[in-house]
Amino acid sequence: MAGAYDTEQQRMIDRIKCIAFREARDAGATFINRQWIADKIHRTTRFVSELWEKSYDQCFADYSNVGAKPKLSEASREIIRQASGQQRKSGPVVAKEIAEKQKEYATGRTINNYRHREGLKPFHVIPKPLKSETHISDRLWLCDWLKDWTVEDFLHLAPSDEFYIWTVRRPNYQNDRIWAKSIEDVTEDERYREMVKNQSCVGVFIMFTCKRLLWIIKDKGESWTGQYFRDIVLIENVIPFLKNEENVIDPDEVIFVHDKAPCMRANKTQHLLQDNDVKFWGNDIWPGNSPDLNVTEHIGSIIKDEVEKKNVIGKWT
């Protein structure tokens, strides 16, 4: 039965036939020989010669040592397990570590597939801002500039921020992911969240004074571009809000504070505020990469955490 219809089951039957015909020959059927058996079972004489002297037990195939060999040794798997719960241990990074320590080749996909089989899931961390010498110098300059301010001076500030609210926190780059079975296995930072695909989000702009809070929901499908920010956020909402005495202590003294996002530090945005006689901290005052200095950032973080806990984002979009 060799050819297109050859199967392991048929080969097993033909092996048994070879032995049975050989036993018949030994019992007196002298006309039986290798070629005769080969013609009967439609196999080669080599197939018959390799099998007819064997026992019936040897007709059954042993698959224990066949198939693709495991790509990861136990030592390599241990390296993957030790990398669990740690940052900057992406699949390619762990694969490189295995190659250096165990001299075994594995791809990043192989590493992540093994993690999935072990029940590990990717988490991500909110990165902390890095402070270079320039950032530190700018922050110290701001502190020195504000050292003579009184409580009344700070009451004229109107801090603002724009952010997205996700069902879970937005995933960062590959090396910011942490593989673990649960959040409890991830230490050092309580703000890890499990990653999911196709996350819905809502864009929000908030600003507050000592008297009122203003918040704007971004139109669906729009982005925080400079034009959208100037036309919708500033002209339609922020500027009228700051000019209203019900919202601020003194419209002539209120100071609009932004976080140096691209849409806010654009020259057109700066000129728009100047043309409307709105006082603001320009690009030369507010230090870059300093979200911790913006009170509104903390309000946004509280809002996002509460939304994530209640999982109401799907009702908004």
Residue 1 included in any domain: no
Identify whether residues 216 and 297 lie together within a single domain. yes
Higher pLDDT, 32 or 291: 32
pLDDT at res. 108:
85
Identify whether residues 183 and 79 lie together within a single domain. no
pLDDT in tens, 150-188: 999 999 999 998 887 765 544 444 445 667 777 667 655
Between CA 94 and CA 99 the distance in angstroms is 9
Q: Has residue 23 got a pLDDT over 70?
A: yes
Q: SS3 of 38, please?
A: helix
Identify whether residues 258 and 293 lie together within a single domain. yes
- Mean pLDDT, residues 96-123 taken together: 84
Which candidate, 204, 263, 218, 272, places its Cα nearest to that of 242? 272
Cα angle 42, 45, 46 (rounded to 5 degrees) comes to 120
Identify whether residues 54 and 197 lie together within a single domain. no
Helix H or strand E encompassing 196: none
Which candidate, 66, 116, 62, 72, places its Cα nearest to that of 95? 72
Residue 285 included in any domain: yes
Identify whether residues 158 and 299 lie together within a single domain. yes
Residue 92 included in any domain: yes
pLDDT in tens, 41-84: 888 888 888 888 888 877 776 555 555 555 688 888 899 888 88
Q: Give the domain extent around 223.
A: 133-316
Identify whether residues 180 and 82 lie together within a single domain. no
Identify whether residues 163 and 196 lie together within a single domain. yes
Between CA 179 and CA 91 the distance in angstroms is 10
Q: Has residue 242 got a pLDDT over 90?
A: yes
In the chain, % of residues over pLDDT 70: 77
At residue 311, what is the residue type?
A: N
CB 70 within 8 A of CB 102: no
Confidence of residue 4 (pLDDT cuts 50, 70, 90): very low
Identify whether residues 246 and 295 lie together within a single domain. yes
Helix H or strand E encompassing 137: helix 133-145
